[in-house]
């Protein structure tokens, strides 16, 4: 398929580049090049495989792993200015997600506003929880102090992409002796799914009903478990106890969108389409950690209708992010 739009596609700036080495140390020379490069290798791969536009975002965990709030604010601004320059060079090929210093909700709201209104970005991508004041602190965004930020995001009318990161070392005992489960194998999905469910259960989407959140990797496992989450042991007649007014499935189908990033598996995609509707699923690659050729060849041949392929590959992203292409 020609004209695909991909939207979990990463770049790095010098202060954040080293964060990605752990995810590709054996191919670091090539991975480093692909993270820093935007206007050369990336474009050639896009042209070769029918990707018209990428929505770029900073690598992980980057800003979220900077405990010093002032430094996080400064690096986020540096990254966003660098991204805006890439967008200016090729506005028909690159759009952008803002990196945000969630260590300070007020500063994050201000930076998102600047990125959307002044730099022309189409949303935000944030790498999970933020470390605030201490490397051992993990702060999640269902906390009350983030409500004004979420209301700003809703008012701006732009989506928030909740991207994975590993749990902190103090939270990895469950993986002890099995470090292979960290990162994209398992821990990324587990960590991000819990964060998404925290947002849902907190009542956030009752207060911000128009807010839209994007999850990668076909929903971090949540679509396969929606029935169980809401159904529980129905014969016990034990209701969920959380502030949210509706079922988890209600919010997931009305406030969330999913991408295919790094999960090039047709049954999983069809399952996601069945659970939340084809209009809420979008193509993505997860460049440079995944291969554009593999992602594109899989998607272009996946056993879905051509109408659904066009929606997932292009039309849904145009509508959600109000892209003018």
Average pLDDT, the chain: 97
Share of the chain above pLDDT 70, in %: 100
Which residue in the list 104, 142, 286, 315 is annotated as catalytic? 286
Going by pLDDT thresholds of 50, 70 and 90, the confidence category of residue 308 is very high
pLDDT at 23: 87
Going by pLDDT thresholds of 50, 70 and 90, the confidence category of residue 54 is very high
CA 80, 73, 191, 231 torsion: positive or negative? Answer: negative
Going by pLDDT thresholds of 50, 70 and 90, the confidence category of residue 79 is very high
pLDDT at 239: 82
Going by pLDDT thresholds of 50, 70 and 90, the confidence category of residue 49 is very high
Q: Provide mean pLDDT across the span 194-211.
A: 98
pLDDT at 240: 85
pLDDT at 84 over 90: yes
Q: State the fold for domain 4-321.
A: TIM Barrel (3.20.20)
**pLDDT digit string, tens, across residues 108-155:** 999 999 999 999 999 999 999 999 999 999 999 999 999 999 999 999
**pLDDT digit string, tens, across residues 2-40:** 999 999 999 999 999 999 999 888 899 999 999 999 999
**pLDDT digit string, tens, across residues 276-303:** 999 999 999 999 999 999 999 999 999 9
Share of the chain above pLDDT 90, in %: 94
Is 286 a residue of the active site? yes
**pLDDT digit string, tens, across residues 257-269:** 999 999 999 999 9
Residue boundaries of the structural domains of the chain: 4-321
**pLDDT digit string, tens, across residues 220-243:** 999 999 999 999 888 888 888 899
Going by pLDDT thresholds of 50, 70 and 90, the confidence category of residue 72 is very high
């Amino acid at each position: 398929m020609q004209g695909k739009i991909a939207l979990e596609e990463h770049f790095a700036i010098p202060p954040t580049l080293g964060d990605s080495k752990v995810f590709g140390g054996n191919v670091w020379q090539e991975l480093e090049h692909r993270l820093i490069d935007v206007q050369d290798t990336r474009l050639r791969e896009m042209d070769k495989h029918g990707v018209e536009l990428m929505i770029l975002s900073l690598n992980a965990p980057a800003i979220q792993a900077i405990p010093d709030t002032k430094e996080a604010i400064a690096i986020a601004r540096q990254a966003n200015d660098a991204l805006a320059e890439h967008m200016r060079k090729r506005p028909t090929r690159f759009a952008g997600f803002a990196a945000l210093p969630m260590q300070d909700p007020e500063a994050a709201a201000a930076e998102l506003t600047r990125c959307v209104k002044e730099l022309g970005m189409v949303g935000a991508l944030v790498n999970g929880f933020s470390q605030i004041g201490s490397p051992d602190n993990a702060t999640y965004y269902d906390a009350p102090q983030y409500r004004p930020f979420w209301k700003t995001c809703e008012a701006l009318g732009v989506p928030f992409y909740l991207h994975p990161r590993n749990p902190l070392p103090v939270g990895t005992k469950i993986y002890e002796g099995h470090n292979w489960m960290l990162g994209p194998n398992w821990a990324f999905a587990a960590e991000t799914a819990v964060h998404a469910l925290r947002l849902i259960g907190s009542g956030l989407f009752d207060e911000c009903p128009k807010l839209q959140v994007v999850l990668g990797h076909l929903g971090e496992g949540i679509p396969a478990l929606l029935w169980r989450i809401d159904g529980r042991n129905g014969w016990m007649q034990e209701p969920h106890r959380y502030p949210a007014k509706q079922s988890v499935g209600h919010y997931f189908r009305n406030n969330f969108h999913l991408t295919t990033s790094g999960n090039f598996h047709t049954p999983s995609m069809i399952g996601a389409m069945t659970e939340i509707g084809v209009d809420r699923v979008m193509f993505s690659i997860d460049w440079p950690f995944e291969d554009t050729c593999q992602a594109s060849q899989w998607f272009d041949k996946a056993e879905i209708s051509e109408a659904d392929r066009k929606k997932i590959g292009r039309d849904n992203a145009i509508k959600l992010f109000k892209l003018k292409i």
